[in-house]
Amino acid sequence: MQDHELDNLSKFYEKNGYVSPVKLLSEAEAAKHRNRLEEAEKKLGSLHYRSKVHTILTSPFELATSSKVLDLIEKLIGPNILLYNVTYIIKEPNSPDHVSWHQDLTYWGLSHDDQVSMWLALSPATKESGCMRMIPESHKNGQLNHETTNDESNVLYQGQTVRDINENESCLCPLCPGEATFHHGWTLHASTPNHSNDRRIGLNVQYLATHVSQKKHDNDSVILVRGEDTYQNFNLDVPAKVDLDADALNRQLELEKLYIETAGRK
C-alpha cells in the first residue's frame, strides 16, 4: 500500500476504533490459505479458537507477518511490533455460535492498550454468515463493565458481555476472502450466528507495542516481528518453520493452557 493509503486507513481507525475492509490478498490467495488450514484440520481436527496457531502452522505466520499487514500496524501502534497471538475463528455452516458485545482487552491483563486486532477473512464474511459488527468511536470510552455468562453458543471463553448496547449505532463489517478488519482493543464488537451453508473462517491476529507487558503473570510470550524490543517484557514464542512439528505441537498445548488460564482470570 502507498503511504497516502496507509494514512487514510490510520486516520479512519483513529477516529472510529476500527477500519474495514482492507484488501490484503486476492480471493485465489485466500483460497490457498484456507486449503492449508483445512488440510491441517484433517490431521488435528477443528482448529477453531486454538491459540498460538502460528507456532504449529506456517500459513498463519506468513499471513500475520506480511509486509502489507505490518506496514499498517506500524501506522497504528508504532515501529516496534510484537506478535502476541494468532488463532482461527470458525463458525460452521448453520451454526448457533455467536460473539456477544465485548471489548478484547477486558481479560487479557495487558499493561497498556497499544494493541491492534486483525480479522482476515478466508471465506466470505457476510451478514448471513455472521460478519463482525462494530460500534464506531466506542474505543474512546475506555473499559466498560462486562458480565460473565454461561451461554455455550458464545465463542468467548467467559461469554463476557456488555449489556444495553444501542445496536442502531453499529456498523456491519462484511468481508470478501482476502479482506481484513483492524480494530482497537476497546472497540465494542460482536457477531451473529452463521446462517449460511459455508464455513465462516477468519484468522484473528493480535499485535502489541513493545512497551506493553502482562500484569497477571510472568509467563506470557510473543514474537518480535518488526523493529526492536528494548523492554523484553515477554518470553519468546517459536514461529512454525514446518507444519505440525511434533515438538511444536507439544509446546502449543502448553501455550494454549496458559492463554486460557490468562483470559479466564479477572
Return phi, psi of residue 86, to 5°: -135, 130
Q: What is the pLDDT at residue 141?
A: 83
C-alpha count within 13 angstroms, C-beta hemisphere, residue 132: 32
Query: How is residue 71 written as a grid cell?
Result: 506496514
Q: How far is C-alpha 122 from the geometric centre of its chain's CA atoms? A: 13
- Note whether 107 and 264 are within 8 A (CB): yes
* Distance between CA atoms of residues 233 and 80, nearest Å: 13
Query: How is residue 108 written as a grid cell?
Result: 487479557
Residue of higher predicted confidence among 224 and 169: 224
The residue ranges of DSSP E strands in the chain, in sequence order, are 18-23, 81-91, 99-102, 115-121, 132-134, 171-173, 179-184, 189-191, 200-209, 221-226, 235-236
* Distance between CA atoms of residues 60 and 21, nearest Å: 19
Q: Where are the domains of the chain?
A: 3-264
Complete DSSP assignment for 79-140: S-EEEEEEEEEEE-TTB--BEEEE-GGGGT-BS---EEEEEEESS-B-TTTT-EEE-TTGGG
Instruction: Give which of 226, 148, 231, 135 is closest to 187, Cα–Cα.
Output: 135
CATH of domain 3-264: 2.60.120.620
Q: What is the pLDDT at residue 144?
A: 67
Q: What is the pLDDT at residue 156?
A: 66
* Distance between CA atoms of residues 6 and 115, nearest Å: 17
Q: What is the pLDDT at residue 266?
A: 41
Q: What is the pLDDT at residue 158?
A: 64
Q: What is the pLDDT at residue 54?
A: 98
Query: How is residue 148 written as a grid cell?
Result: 460473565
The length of the chain is 266
Q: What is the pLDDT at residue 63?
A: 98
- For range 131-146, the mean pLDDT: 86
